[in-house]
Amino acid sequence: MASFLICHGAWSAGWAWKKLRPILRDAGHEIFTPSYTGLGERAHLVHPMIDLDTHIQDVLGVIECEDLRELILVGHSYGGMVATGVADRVPGRIRHLVYVDAFVPGDGQSLNDLTGREPAAPLDGWLVPSNPPPPDTASADLAWIGPRRRQQPARCFSQKLRLSGEAPPFPRSYIHCTRKPGGDSFARFAERFRDDPAWRFHALDASHSPNITAPDALAALLLPLA
């Protein structure tokens, strides 16, 4: 039995991984899908000072309180920022680090640094509105995710991640979602890791949130890691 721990994407929460939970559990594994402070069922805790470190601490708290070890740590999209910080702080607890169409920061980089732009913020100046869902998202899924997505504090995107600089002692995988009719913010990571012998690389014929649009295909790539 393996333990999967999900670091979800921006504006989302643990609920967005609802489709993947039974697939992994039916295969005999545990899956933890904590929601970050200010999002999902914790949206009532939102405030302007929430930042990337807050979300890293959210996940570290789950690892500590559940005493999780030999983790398969999965970061999706913005969750790649969170997962990188978590893995850097507790490397001895990680079996494998998986990025699913995710940002892979280096020391001193913020998400805004990686995108080369700051996301548009509304008039209140600290809550960033969500990006639209992929165009192939089914109407039933749009009805499910629409009311549950939340604006996210801007400091999550602007805070620079600080890393120890030590080489990760665990293997890493990158899953690149290829079904994107417009721009692809993650193509640069695919190019970087596709032929890197230190990484396992997979191209997935799915849009940016396969946990919603292609959970079986995503599970097929995650389960062999267990």
Residues assigned a catalytic role:
77
List alpha helices for 14-138, DSSP H: 20-26, 52-66, 79-89, 111-115
- The residue among 95, 33, 67 whose CA lies nearest residue 225 is 95
CA distance linking residue 187 with residue 52, whole number of Å? 23
CA atoms within 13 A on the CB side of 145: 25
List alpha helices for 67-199, DSSP H: 79-89, 111-115, 139-145, 155-158, 187-193
- Other Cβ atoms within 10 Å of 77 Cβ, number: 25
